[in-house]
Amino acid sequence: MENIDWNNLSFGYIKTDYNIRCYYKNGLWGDLEVSDSEYFNMHIAATAIHYGQESFEGLKAFRGKDGKIRIFRMDENAQRMQDSAEGTLMVQFPKEKFMEAVVKVIKLNEKFVPPYESKASLYIRPVLFGSGAEVGVKPAKEYMFILFVTPVGPYFKGGFQTTPFLIMREFDRSAPLGMGKYKVGGNYAASLIAGKKAHDMGYSNIFYLDAKEKKYIDECGAANFFGIKNNTYITPKSASILPSITNKSLMVLAKEMGMKVEQRLVPVEELETFEEAGACGTAAVISPIQRIDDYDEKKSYVFSKDGKPGPISKKLYDKLCGIQYGDEPDNHGWVTVI
Ligand SMILES: *Cc1c(COP(=O)(O)O)cnc(C)c1O
């Protein structure tokens, strides 16, 4: 712990002191249990490992200038985990208990919350999964909720930067009536090949089009997409997109800045007309897009000629980060101070 170099953290796993577990057995959730072990025992026939009955969440806690720790919109993550549970026939983890667990795990690992100056944060990873034994394809009768934290560096090592993205029609992320709207492990196993291919070709990530018609923008990697034009924030509406809490927050902030907000189908060709474009999610808040290359159509949509992020992306990014670190007022009750 004494050896953590706060200014050079990556987005990787670092051991902290404690994690939390909670077990659902005989129709009841037990008490939150604190552990200092990084391991747990699991039944060899648990539904999570052979049928992927699992969901996860990702949120962050930030240390402000005032030394206080702020958690961003954890009620939204608690709700989304309930939605994912519904989508995979898991028993829901109570929202109050989820939030209690998040506060508890942060307090237990307080010394791992990076200092304000480092621009790093504490990443919080809740996981819910079927731990009960089944052999046929059916939901487990027992569940486990686990929660660990790990300090992570700022997404942009050299400051807020643009990167190139790639459209490839060879891969779908999720089917129109499938599981894309849930944060479930299987979606991410399914995205590894496409992500690797894009990375190997020098792109920061892959862009998915809607699986049915391949006409509309869906998501980019594990992030939502937005484009900016004519003082309007435009983000795709689709049943196969994971509803990003960052995107939801940016839509509110864009409105407050006097912009119009549209959530609708976004045809690929419309990329031509955007003045700025970005990917958004907890990890980076906003990852501004330098250009999107359409591999199949041999086309390139450029949003930043000099590689710098656009002014509106920058403004939205600064505003949201400001709220998270406590530099800007929290007018929406998004932040829990501990
Ligand atoms: C987690 C995730 C996002 C981002 O959601 P946030 O709540 O903003 O972190 C976007 N797309 C996918 C596929 C995700 O898994």
- Report pLDDT digits (tens) over 9-18: 988 999 999 9
- Characterize the bridge pairing of strands 260-264 and 232-236: parallel
Query: What CATH number did the domain enclosing 42 receive?
Result: 3.30.470.10
Is 330 inside a domain boundary? Answer: no
- 318's CB contacts (< 8 A; 6+ apart) are none
Q: Domain check: are 136 and 174 in the same one?
A: no
Domain interval for residue 209: 163-325
pLDDT in tens, 16-38: 999 999 999 999 999 999 999 99
User: For residues 251 and 263, is the Cβ–Cβ distance under 8 A?
Assistant: yes
Interatomic CA distance for residues 276 and 208, integer angstroms? 18
Catalytic residue chosen out of the listed positions 60, 119, 181, 183: 183
Pocket probe for ligand 1: among 84, 206, 282, the residue whose CB has the most ligand atoms within 8 Å is: 282
Q: Domain check: are 134 and 184 in the same one?
A: no
Q: Domain check: are 134 and 172 in the same one?
A: no
pLDDT in tens, 59-85: 999 999 999 999 999 999 999 999 999
Q: Residue 1 pLDDT more than 70?
A: no
The closest-lying atom of ligand 1 relative to the alpha carbon of residue 283 is 9
Q: Domain check: are 294 and 193 in the same one?
A: yes
Ligand 1 center from residue 185 Cα (angstroms): 12
Number of domains in the chain: 2
Is 338 inside a domain boundary? Answer: no
Is 158 inside a domain boundary? Answer: no
Q: Domain check: are 253 and 226 in the same one?
A: yes
For 113-127, what is the mean pLDDT? Answer: 97
Ligand 1 center from residue 245 Cα (angstroms): 7
Q: Domain check: are 211 and 139 in the same one?
A: no
Is any ligand 1 atom within 6 A of the Cβ of residue 57? Answer: no
Interatomic CA distance for residues 214 and 268, integer angstroms? 9
The closest-lying atom of ligand 1 relative to the alpha carbon of residue 247 is 8
| 183 annotated active-site | yes
The closest-lying atom of ligand 1 relative to the alpha carbon of residue 77 is 7
Q: Domain check: are 273 and 217 in the same one?
A: yes
Q: What DSSP string describes 224-272? A: EEEEEETTEEEEE--TTS---HHHHHHHHHHHHTT-EEEEE--BGGGGG
Matching residue, tokens 């809607």: 210
Q: Of 102, 127, 152, which residue constitutes the final position of a domain?
A: 152
